[in-house]
Amino acid sequence: NGKPQGLWWTMSFGDGKKAGTFVFLPNGIHASNPRYGAGNLVDIEGQKAQAGVNGVGPFSISGGQITRQHDGFSSTDPYTTGTDSSGRFFKIGEAVYRPLAAPTKQSLVGTWRVPGNKYVFNMNGTYEAGQTVDGGDWVATSVVSGTYAIDGHLVVFRPKDGPMAIIPIGMVGKDIMLASGLLFKKS
């Protein structure tokens, strides 16, 4: 039917290191920055119930156009689909959306960097995360380490000293990971 389904990501405006996440459901509902209910589930009802702007609304596609409604706004834009060397995509206007894959231990293991931050995931289920200085060395007081577990698109961090954290993570490609709205590159 040509409708997108599932989790998708697109670049945010700016320096090329930020991206937004969107979900398109088979029933014609979409949401920006979806609220996760479990590893592979989004909590649309919970997100709709949030006070203020929630980014949830209906969408429809007809005649090469997509109409999206949310938060009292409605927009109709050109809509196309295709594939290229990076895989399948769809476009809303000039914005390119690509599927967001759930991480696996194999895809997550390694060192991931974005200026000022780094994640290191090990095959034995341990991790290190924190801020970095120029050159990639850790800022001494910022390093957190512990264990991690993957549940669909959610990664559960259990630091040695501190509260558990759950962060949505998606694989954009073999060497690019989307976490907390930032595109981390594998090094």
pLDDT tens profile 42-51: 999 999 998 8
Residue numbers of the chain with a pLDDT score lower than 70 = 1, 14-15, 39
Report the C-alpha gap between 29 and 26 in whole angstroms: 7
Tokens standing for residue 182: 């930032």
Residues 92 and 115 in one domain: no
Report the C-alpha gap between 11 and 176 in whole angstroms: 13
The pLDDT score that the predictor gives to residue 39 is 67
Note whether residue 1 is domain-resident: no
Residues 142 and 74 in one domain: no
The pLDDT score that the predictor gives to residue 187 is 92
Residues 113 and 93 in one domain: no
- Among 46, 72, 99, the domain boundary falls at 99
Q: Model's pTM, two decimal places?
A: 0.87
- In terms of residue numbers, what domain contains 54? 6-99
Residues 143 and 120 in one domain: yes
Note whether residue 154 is domain-resident: yes
